[in-house]
Structure 1
Amino acid sequence: MSQGLRKVTIAAFVLLIVLLAMVRWGASLYIDWLWFASLSYQNVFLKILLSEIGLKIVVGAVVFVLMFINLLPARKALLKAVESAKQLQQDDNIITLYQSPWSKYVSSGPVIMVFGLISLVMAFFIGTAVTGDWVILQKFFHPSSFGYSDPIFNKDVGFYVFQLPFYQFIYRLLTWIVLLLALWAAVAYFVAETARGGGQAKLFRSESARFHLSALAAVYFAIRAWGYRLEQYNLMHTQSGIVYGPGYTDVHATLIAYKILFFVSLLCAAVVLVNVFLRRFRLVMYTIGFLLVASVALGGVYPALIQKFIVVPNELSREKPYLENSIEFTRKAYGLDQVESRPFPAGKTLNAEDIRQNPETIENIRLWDYRPLQQTYSQLQEMRLYYELKNIDVDRYNINGQYRQVMISARELNQEQLSEQAKTWVNQRLKYTHGYGIVMSPVNEVTGEGLPNLFIKDIPPASGVDLKVERPEIYFGELTDNYVIVNTRELEFDYPRGDDNAYSKYEGKNGVKVGSIFRRLMFAFVMGDYKLLLSGEVNSGSQVLYYRNIKERVPKIAPFLQYDSDPYMVVDGGKLYWLWDAYTVTNMYPYAEPFTGGLNYIRNSVKVVVDAYSGDVKFYIADQKDPVIKTYSRIFPGLFLPLDKMPEGIKSHIRYPEDMFTIQAQKYTVFHMDDPEVFYNKEDKWNMPTEMFYDQEQTLEPYYTIVRLPGEKSTEYIQILPFTPQNKKNMIAWLAGRSDGESYGKLLMYEFPKQELVYGPMQVEARINQDTTISQQIALWDQRGSQVIRGNLMIIPIKDSLLYVEPLYLQAEQSKMPELRRVIVIHGDRVVMEPTLDIALQKIFGGKEQPAAPPQQVEGQQQPQADRTVSQLASEANKIYDEAQARLKEGDWSGYGDAQKRLKEVLNEMAQKAGQ
């Protein structure tokens, strides 16, 4: 193959690769357009697409033009260098004509082409680098006001959230462009100097090179001056001392340094330009060195001296106003300034009448921990290997006229768990398309076998209450990670029915129709699935359902929101929906201490509802006051709906979100201290509490419950988390996030008197461990082929007192199906463990006497006889012992205790007989 043909082949191959990449990109874009159109979000798609492509094109065009213009002066230097290299050289009386090896490559046309190619490549890479920055651009053009300003620069907080990020983006972009311009200009001049030949190339031997690079240096210094201006505002997001944000040193040293360096940079730019015209290029290097020295001296040494000699000896007095700023703005950033604090009397003792007056609270104490219940649900209700109850959520419903707290889990279909023989294309794409139904049980009811009492169970869903599931199919969920095709000639598997299966057809309209052969070809190409193109089961009316996992589906529409870790299933009108909390966040809120990921502002501004059957997605604004969601609403008109447009049945299930509540609680452990001196000394720092789960100590998770808060007239659904003081285990306060009605979204803090002892979670756990009866029984249980699981410790406020409840589960080694066997209740100085909560409460508080159980004839038990021999008594003792062990394995503590009493009586009788 000739060299020319080889070059043509390589060029054709490269062109083919580029063409395929463009086709792939275009096809994916087309498929995404069809998907957005199926959900009626074409405007969102276009806004995101045009913003991103527009930003890339503008940035790329600017880079191309600047790079090309920047390289043009070097073209002339290259041509001159080649011409000057054609010179006569005399060596040992021999005259030769020297020509640089570069000369055959350097001519006006090829140089222009090379410069154009370099500019194009740089434009492509920098344009690609700004992918995702379209959000910064759109927020800059649609800012909102927060209504209050920072205390240092007196600028509205919206400036930092919406405008400063754009200025920083432009600054970083210009800095990189100038550095790249200088780099490629230096390369071009280096090549030109090399082309002169006859010795080692010197970059600054050429006057044009020195002039060009000096001009770029002047531009860089001018940009750097703007950078110092922006860094003044960036002080609002730094932590150099005890304060997040600017402290004394930052305001009185670093800020002054940035102001001086701003003028120094401008002066350096002017000096460089003047020296260019004076042709004293050595001074350019001195100017650069001067700026570096000034930066180190003013930006590093001077603030360090101020900190050491001015601040440290009088730190509290110097930092006090800045501590106040940090406390104020951090509390605002996390909504902690809206926390309502109330006193909670300690040492109060409940009585039976208090228990009777709070039936809704008592009846909704959660005895089922979601972790062991997950295994129990799996054993009882997954039915088939391909079904999976992935998560268990806690919610509340009006059931049979009562406000009940329930556990609920969606039965999704996990194709990964199909048998290998069943993992055919038809099964995975056309037949096994959806999950089916839910499992629901009350939080406090247990069957005689220690299992949950299921309100809704089985396939098809059978309900024992007035809550029905009439559309149980789940096409969209947390396990639906692949695409399926519905409305094909192949029937869809609905659920197993005896020896046969039930089948159905998808009736939704939110899928994308296969349509024409072109569209089918696009699907096959993008999905990488040629069988979709060849299958005779698929017709033009079939619908392709993709992006079915809600954790991919929802962020595909609104990638600028941050989402809670736990979407939860809701039943309304017989249909199933996913309800998911979304947050507006930023890392640019001034003076606010950040949480995970550097973010330092959060609001639960959006509630997302996804139809589990049709995949329809709706976004509702839950916080109209949030400036960030106001900006997003302006960027995407029509995307967000007011909360009053949400169906009432779904709206009744919105709740204070878990992740936000946890973040706020973590921040509140420190920022409940609003006195700067107390804050500085961390005198009243709180800790997140811990509890025992299995036999490990771990952080206590916030939990939902239904209670009547002190001073309120009715019960409500709230989220609770207690706090403990630093280095102590007693409880100092508890935080409540409210979820019902007009109180939704409010935080209440109940603080205990500091002079009173209120048991914290680990102190309660210690009291349980120290109770000899409980600890012995748990130890016996753990030694007989079973494992004891200690569930969530629930701290339930009732009137002005607290009730502690901890469930115990028994799990056999051979089975992963934990059973609820005991409930431990602690109040005041009483610790009891009983088979049910009702019995435990009765034992503590008394009240109406339960009728005595009639004596039971236990299998193998002999009635007392007047004249039994020692041998007969020994036989009887063995039988009673075996019976006691059987009761122990079953967790029947009452039967075990009765057997032990009878065994003692028989042994005493044996001793009397032996002594006769």
Structure 2
Amino acid sequence: NKDAMESVRLWDWRPLKQTYKQLQELKQYYFFNDVDVDRYIIDGKKIAVNLSARELSIDGLGGNAQTWQNRHLIYTHGYGAVMSRVDRISSEGLPVFMIQDIPPKSDVGIKIDRPEVYYGEHKNSYAITNTSIQPGEFDYPSGDENKYTTYAGTGGIKLDSFFKRLLTAVAFGDVNLLISGNISSESRVLFRRNIVEIAQTYVPFLELDDDPYLVISEGKLYWIIDAYTQSDQFPYSTPISAGGKTLNYIRNSVKIVIDAYNGRISCYISDSSDPIIKAYAKIFPNLFKELKDVPEGLKSHLRYPETIFNIQSHMLLKYHMTNPNVFYNNEDLWAIPTQIYGSSEEPVHSYYLVTTLPNEKRSEFILILPFTPYKKNNMMSFLTAKCDMPDYGQLQLYQLPKDKLNYGPMQIEARINQDPEISKQLTLWSQKGTNVIRGNMLAIPIKESIIYIEPLYLKAETSEMPELKKVIVAFSDKIVMENDLPTAIEKLFFGSGFATDAEKSDTRGMSLKSMADRASFHFSKAEEYMRAGNWKGYGEELESLKNILNQMKSQGN
């Protein structure tokens, strides 16, 4: 499953957020609220990425800078975003950025022409733009100087009358709005700048997902929020507790899109079969649009939400049983497996990845979660949800063969602890005062089997920046730990790793298929060395690839 191996989410959002903070916040008044997972077409291939908006945190200004003018007239917006591949690691154990810095620099052709973030996840107070304050509205830092701008959007309210200024002064309890000489008839007051507050005000009858995510489309930044209709009154339906509420009916009926520059909101009906949203659409005929009206640049980034997927997964633990007697006696209950994260045991979370599912021909962006038998640790099955059009929303349950042992996540965790080489290294790091963070255990489907991948992050006691230093890969009865995924895969399946040139190119006794697989790994490794600027490693891998191709040619003849 080459597609899956090229988009394995080695970077978990929790340590990655800390790393983004140290490397890319750049100034004390910038802030990364969250790290999202999405997919983009890069060089003709669908690639999974992490990305985050660089938002403004006005409280980050120094004490003397906390003036009314700075808080409301000068520092008004965040700037740009960062993006990195989920599967790439630099030689220093850091993410490989595709978009970074200020102004945003892109290595992959994804441009951000409108990088200003006036509306985001972070809660900032109101801002007043288009004022006469000098030197102007702060845009971004550039070396020893600052760049300034004038807002050209349509967000907020234009303060073109005394009455409007009076009302806003009363609304915000701030007399400066009324008396400031910097405010003119061309000024605009931007308020309610938190995207969740915008959506709650616009569609208060919908329940909002707690994980809005950023999308870069046609040079602009957008936020997408999943919204739900729900009830606890649906007949003959088992209730479940979710988000502090008890419900027995939920539909992801609406996709909300908010422009990060203008704050403009659009609501698209994503489940036209839902009777509740049908009723709301008749009550408010101009409020909702059809899903087909979503711009193509945004439609390709719609995700099946984890919230509803997790609810469906929990219901499936019991309701996968179709035999009445088996169901009544709870003979085949399933469970959500657990894993080691950091140093603590926790449930496995559903996760997004790009992969080619069994019996499918194309790579897809999916959401996946494995299952184990109740009070047992071996893997039984996994549920997937497709995110790409035209198959968006299709759920598929895959059951593994029952005639052989399929290791579950905690069984792999136990084998990691019992492996002499790995456990020795983990102990050595701990004795040196290094904090070892065991990342998410990822179960990747490979035909009728599962390959497990777990990243290891190291963080010094004096540092706030985790570094991804090792990758553990397990398949069947084999388990290995290497510096990166291609090397670990090579060692797992071919046994030798990248020890010597002779070993690298020795393909005696191998089938053409195995030789082709090995050639593919050498090519992937060469690409990685090229991106990292390691030209010695790049040349060695190309030489190994050349030797294998020559031997394949000889064997074919």
Q: Which amino acid aligns with 1:842?
A: E
Q: Give the one of 166, 187, 211 matched to 1:566.
A: 211
Cα distance in structure 2, aligned partners of 1:590 and 1:624: 21
- Give the letter aligned to residue 410 of structure 1: A
Aligned match for 1:546, one of 175, 191, 200: 191
CA distance in 2 between counterparts of 1:679 and 1:431 reads 64
Does the alignment pair 1:658 with 2:306?
yes
Residue correspondence of structure 1 range 403-482 to structure 2 within 5 A: 403-482=46-125
AA at the equivalent of 1:544: V
CA–CA distance in structure 2, aligned partners of residues 649 and 444 of structure 1: 24
Deviation readout 1:746-777 (Å, 9 max, x if unpaired): 11001123343211110110111110110010
Distance 2:240 2:130 in 1: 47
CA positional deviation for 1:677: 2.4
Q: 1:309 aligns to what?
A: none
Deviation of 1:658 after TM superposition, in Å, equals 1.0
Contact preservation (8 Å) 2:49, 2:85: yes
- Which of 257, 276, 284 aligns to 1:609? It is 257
The answer to whether the 8 Å contact 1:409/1:439 transfers is yes
* Aligned residue number for residue 524 of structure 1: 169
**Distance in 2 of aligned mates of 1:360 and 1:546:** 44
Counterpart residue type for residue 651 of structure 1: K
1:852 has 2:500 as partner: yes
Q: Runs of 5+ in structure 2 lacking a partner? A: 503-557
Q: Deviations over 1:447-494 (max 9, x none)?
A: 110000000000110111111111110000011331111111121111
The one-letter code sitting in structure 1 at the alignment partner of 2:108 is V
Q: Does the CA-based 8 Å contact 2:487-2:497 persist in structure 1?
A: no
Distance across 1 between alignment mates of 2:225 and 2:482: 38
Whole-Å separation in 2 of the counterparts to 1:527 and 1:607: 31
Q: Is the CA contact (8 Å cut-off) linking 1:413 and 1:480 kept in structure 2?
A: no
Q: Which residue in 1 is equivalent to 2:222? A: 577
Kept in 2, the 8 Å contact 1:603–1:626? The answer is yes
In the TM superposition, residue 807 of structure 1 has moved relative to its aligned partner by 0.4
Tell me the equivalent position of 1:589. 234
Residue 383 and residue 853 in structure 1: after superposition, are their counterparts in 2 closer, same or farther (change >3 A)? Answer: farther
Structure 1 partner of 2:7: 364
Residue 486 (str. 1) matches residue 129 (str. 2): yes
For residue 717 of structure 1, report the CA deviation from its aligned partner: 0.5
Q: Secondary structure at the match of 1:669?
A: helix
The 1-side partners of 2:224 and 2:266 are apart by 10
Aligned-pair CA distance for 1:849? 7.7
What is the alpha-carbon distance in structure 1 between the residues aligned to residue 448 and residue 259 of structure 2? 42
1:799 CA drift (Å): 2.1
Q: Per-residue displacement from partner, 1:43-90 (whole Å, max 9, x unpaired)?
A: xxxxxxxxxxxxxxxxxxxxxxxxxxxxxxxxxxxxxxxxxxxxxxxx
- The structure whose residues are more often helix, as a share, is 1
Q: Secondary structure at the match of 1:742?
A: coil
Match of 1:500 among 138, 145, 153: 145
Q: Is the 8 A contact 1:378 1:389 kept in 2?
A: yes
2:487 to 833, 839, 852: 839
CA distance in 1, matches of 2:65, 2:124: 18
Asked if 1:378 corresponds to 2:18, the answer is: no
Alignment match, 1:691: 339
Provide the TM-score with structure 1 as the length reference. Answer: 0.53
* In the alignment, structure 1 residue 746 sits paired with structure 2 residue 394: yes
How far is the alpha carbon of 1:851 from its aligned partner? 7.2
Give TM-score, length-normalised by structure 2.
0.87
Conserved 8 A contact 2:155-2:261: no
Please say if residues 670 and 685 of structure 1, whose CA atoms lie closer than 8 Å, have aligned partners that are also in contact: yes
Aligned equivalent of 1:797: 445
1:317-340 Cα distance to aligned partner (Å, 9 max, x none) = xxxxxxxxxxxxxxxxxxxxxxxx
Is the contact between residue 407 and residue 476 of structure 2 (CA under 8 Å) also seen in structure 1?
A: no
Contact 2:400/2:448 (CA < 8 Å) preserved in 1?
no
- In structure 2, what is the Cα distance between the partners aligned to 1:360 and 1:751? 21
- 4+ residue runs over 3 A deviation: 847-851
Deviation of residue 674 (structure 1)?
2.9
Cα shift at 1:848: 9.9
The 1-side partners of 2:9 and 2:122 are apart by 27
| Percentage of identical aligned residues | 51
The answer as to 2:371 corresponding to 1:723 is: yes
Measured against aligned partners, the alpha-carbon deviations of 1:714-751 in whole angstroms (never above 9, x if no partner) come to 01000010011111111111000110111100110011
Q: What SS does structure 1 have at the residue aligned with 2:311? A: helix
* Shift of residue 853, structure 1, vs aligned partner: 6.9
Q: SS state of the match for residue 87, structure 2?
A: coil
Number of the residue aligned with 1:388: 31
Q: Give the Cα separation in 2 of the matches to 1:429 and 1:762.
A: 51
Measured in 2, the distance between the counterparts of 1:598 and 1:380 equals: 42
Look up the SS of the partner of 2:489 in the other structure.
Answer: helix
- 2:352 maps to 1:704: yes
Contact 2:487 2:498 in 1 (8 A): no
CA contact (8 A) 1:586 1:600 kept: yes
| C-alpha distance after superposition, 1:258-300 (max 9, x if no partner) | xxxxxxxxxxxxxxxxxxxxxxxxxxxxxxxxxxxxxxxxxxx
**CA–CA distance in structure 2, aligned partners of residues 644 and 841 of structure 1:** 41
- The CA RMSD over aligned residues, in Å, is 1.4
Asked whether the 8 Å contact 1:707–1:798 carries over to 2, the reply is: no
1:669 to 298, 314, 317: 317
Q: Give the secondary-structure state (helix, strand or coil) at the position aligned to 2:51.
A: strand
Q: Which structure has greater strand proportion?
A: 2
Total equivalences in the alignment: 497
Where structure 1 has 5 or more consecutive residues not aligned to the other structure, the ranges are: 1-357, 855-916
- For residues 344-359 of structure 1, the aligned pairs below 5 Å read 358-359=1-2
Which residue of 1 is the match for residue 269 of structure 2? 621
CA contact (8 A) 1:395 1:405 kept: yes
What displacement does 1:563 show?
A: 1.0
Larger radius of gyration: 1
* Contact 2:406-2:449 at 8 Å conserved across structures: no
Structure 1: distance between partners of 2:474 and 2:138: 50
Structure 1 residue 416, shift from structure 2 partner? 1.8
Pick the aligned partner of 1:645 from 290, 293, 314. Answer: 293
The verdict on how the C-alpha distance between 1:427 and 1:853 changes in structure 2, with shifts beyond 3 A counting, is: farther
Name the CA shift for 1:433/1:817 in 2 (closer, same or farther; >3 Å).
same
Alpha-carbon distance between aligned partners in 2 of 1:835 and 1:642, rounded to the nearest angstrom: 48
